[in-house]
Structure 1
């Protein structure tokens, strides 16, 4: 889908009224030219001047009202188009699987829904004005043909030559805009690094200098490409204007012997009258080239999301839904030779599995292993965030497929290592304030923040405190399965001990299945099962001695 297809498709409801207004605006504009020429040749003493003045005022009012209507309508239409594009894109983003988001840059997405979308929204008035300008040129050309076919032939020849030359510059302009957009995305990415890594750059001067140098380089490259593109637009504008001056010169210097004394000034005035509208059209086409690139960029992102959505039909959601999927009945979770592979940021291939495990409610399962062993990937796989490339996933004996994956995901309350805290209490608006206050006190955060309406009073907390707040949100969800990825990291020894010896056992006693990735081997005795991982595989299963003394219906295997 390109920009013009988008405009034609979305303008169906208002197309007729807009075209009607633009045509009448252009006709009234052309009428102004005719009236001015008629007034210039009419005898001053005659009453025709007053009549022409009234006609001029009428044509001017019609021109203003029609142009005002068409411009406002197009502005509203393009704003609605952008809203529709954004809504559709966000819908696809929400339905996308995690691998699609991980492979698509955050800066690319933000640029698409902000800068690119704004560019499209701003094209509404230009569309109306450019169409009106094009029709004015057309009507003025017809008027010249009415005055003199020879002058019409000269004017048309100059116009066609200019259009051919300008079209030859279009590809170069489009290429420059595409490269400029790429540099803008890179610039945005580097600025994001500067903001998110501000503390690190402050404490490492050389790192900060090199990062800012990268930002400056991306900005300078973008500016250079923008200047080059604008220079091409300037050349096109000058070429368009020059073509009209050449036409005037040919008419004035070569055609007087073929034109009457009254016709020559009228033709010259008509050509001069067309310079402004064609200049507007040429400048507008430059904006339309950028809109074309913006539309393609948004479409490329949508296609990428669709492509990942189609990679595994048995796993991807079959259709969009505004309903919240109810959770599947909880039971034993079984991983039967499940597999998943992906490429790391460094480009290396990593394969998880095949992994076979069985875990049931009222059990604590620790995932142990070195960094890069696959613990976090396994958490994402068993929670349904990564699609299966092999094997089967079951809960309570029911296989997880595309038909019930959304329901399956509702079983989990996670705190991932790269957790995100929302500023609003999404999904918790009906939660008990008393329960929340009790958890704040339990997590030693009662003096740090409170709930202000539907949002937290502050998120300006230390890393450890933010993780405790994320834990509170997970506990408020009260779901059957708790997923913790390095939950005790960034916590002081006292609170770390509390997590392992009090909170996690309490969750088990309440019937929750707790699955935690951890390096804290001193607390392995708390677990019912320790899964040791290495290079994406389960190397061994361990039942700690303390866990062996507890009654178990565990059927875990690997």
Structure 2
């Protein structure tokens, strides 16, 4: 609950005012009942005085109730925004490895569903506070009429609390369990769209996914949610039963044991009947408190599972002298192979103005090595040296600013974020023409007109963004795989040599052996190990010899 306490500290005065107005409204409502009871036995001369007091108190109740609801609504939206931004910052500051391990489903659920649950809790707060104040005020008036009735009410509340606590504990257990299952549901819901092509092309796969995977999880969530809310309903029913038991004992037992006059007895009846609705409203609002508690636990857990990187802020890098990987290793678990894959140890030196091709079969570790080079993964052993200095946890974020990267699973933003430079639109338009995208996309105020493009065109647009970043080191992961022969030639024979001529270091992950001879150097990986390295021309000569041998 530390997140909620933090919010309470930041908005303590508003929260205090909201609670105070709710209490005033609740106690005022109880006061209205007391005035009504007094008016029933008052003389004509006293009725006028009671009437004015009733009018004034009614206006006070109306104003404080409206103000309370407004303040709690404001606090609810403020809490949602604060918790959302806190989680967003936590995601932004977490390491890439932790983000991969957690996946998007849990964080998306927290940023949407759980935060809406928090808002609903704040929406219900005015009612909870007012109804609680009404009940407290009514109990106080009962005590004023008879201390014996108040004592009986206290015993009744104690018995009701014990039964409620037992049911509430089990209800919370089921709500927590169902909330965890919903993370899997969010992931499967995304697969409905991400895997739409595959599902449409394979009827049995679609039926199995919907009828088995989705239906099973939906049913599991339904069952556990239902159990939770049924237990809440049982708690509410227990509270109602205890309330009516209290009414029965008061009217039919206590009143006979301790005779009272008709006026006091009518006061008992009126107060008890008036308490029924606030008590039922309070009990019915209990699930929102339980759901908010579970949501807060979820938000705190997601934040705890995403530790922030320790980073030293600094300007983006303009140049470097060398990057060295010294006996670097990295391991991760491959679910498909059901085994741990280990990359390295890798020893590698990279310098400006060098064009390096990273080659090898699928699953050999090329992309993993690229992520280590650019600082997305930290080495598990060994070290990375930038200009002879070790890159540690504090320096890693500044180190990453050396790189402009287009991964095979790249993401395009619809604006040129972080590049508020003079003439940026004109530079972008020039690149759109060079990449033959100007008939599809335009740029205005650093925003692209559309991202609704083919995969090859989207990669060209990602290349444009990388060029505009103008970093000293470029990495391209299978960039040309989705390009037609024309643009493959442009990429390998014009764009990459241009970057090299400008003194940029370039790593290209590729399978296009027709262009291997253009590399200054190649590095070949096989199952996580560097098995071969040399000049690109050596690969070209070997390919020619292989082709000659095939002909003859």
> 1:40-51, aligned counterparts within 5 Å?
40-43=40-43, 46-51=44-49
Structure 1 segments, 4+ long, off by >4 Å, are 546-549
Aligned position for 2:288: 287
For residues 3-31 of structure 1, the C-alpha deviation after alignment (integer angstroms, 9 at most, x for no partner) is: 76456444423243234323322221121
Q: Measure how far apart 1:546 and its partner are.
A: 6.9
Aligned position for 1:392: 383
In 1, the alpha carbon distance for the partners of 2:31 and 2:196 equals 62
Moved more, 144-153 or 10-19: 10-19
Aligned position for 2:315: 325
Moved more, 15-24 or 484-493: 15-24
Cα 1:2–1:514 change in 2 (3 A) is same
> 1:376-455, aligned counterparts within 5 Å?
376-430=367-421, 431-455=423-447
CA contact (8 A) 1:342 1:350 kept: yes
Unaligned runs of 5+ in 2: 542-552
2:404 aligns to what SS in structure 1? Answer: strand
Aligned position for 1:556: none
In 1, the alpha carbon distance for the partners of 2:232 and 2:420 equals 53
Aligned position for 2:269: 268
CA contact (8 A) 1:71 1:124 kept: no
Aligned position for 1:342: 332
Q: Does 1:13 align with 2:13?
A: yes
> 1:454-465, aligned counterparts within 5 Å?
454-465=446-457
Aligned position for 2:241: 242
In 2, the alpha carbon distance for the partners of 1:499 and 1:147 equals 91
Query: Aligned match of 1:55 in 53, 63, 73?
Result: 53
CA contact (8 A) 1:180 1:222 kept: yes
Q: Which has the higher helix share?
A: 2
What number of residue pairs does the alignment pair up? 536
In 1, the alpha carbon distance for the partners of 2:8 and 2:531 equals 60
> 1:138-537, aligned counterparts within 5 Å?
138-213=136-211, 214-257=213-256, 258-260=258-260, 261-306=262-307, 309=308, 316-318=309-311, 325-327=315-317, 329-346=319-336, 348-430=339-421, 431-537=423-529
CA contact (8 A) 1:411 1:480 kept: yes
CA contact (8 A) 2:310 2:394 kept: yes
Aligned position for 2:109: 111
1:262 aligns to what SS in structure 2? Answer: helix
In 2, the alpha carbon distance for the partners of 1:9 and 1:216 equals 43
**Alignment TM-score, normalising by the size of structure 2:** 0.92
Q: Measure how far apart 1:384 and its partner are.
A: 0.7
In 2, the alpha carbon distance for the partners of 1:195 and 1:453 equals 32
For residues 487-533 of structure 1, the C-alpha deviation after alignment (integer angstroms, 9 at most, x for no partner) is: 11111223222211222122111211110111122211111111111
For residues 139-160 of structure 1, the C-alpha deviation after alignment (integer angstroms, 9 at most, x for no partner) is: 2112112212222232222222
Moved more, 517-526 or 218-227: 218-227
CA RMSD in angstroms comes to: 2.1
For residues 16-47 of structure 1, the C-alpha deviation after alignment (integer angstroms, 9 at most, x for no partner) is: 3234323322221121111111112224xx22
Q: Measure how far apart 1:547 and its partner are.
A: 9.7
Aligned position for 1:312: none
In 2, the alpha carbon distance for the partners of 1:53 and 1:498 equals 90
CA contact (8 A) 1:526 1:546 kept: no
For residues 295-322 of structure 1, the C-alpha deviation after alignment (integer angstroms, 9 at most, x for no partner) is: 110100110112xx4xxxxxx3247x6x
Unaligned runs of 5+ in 1: 310-315, 550-558
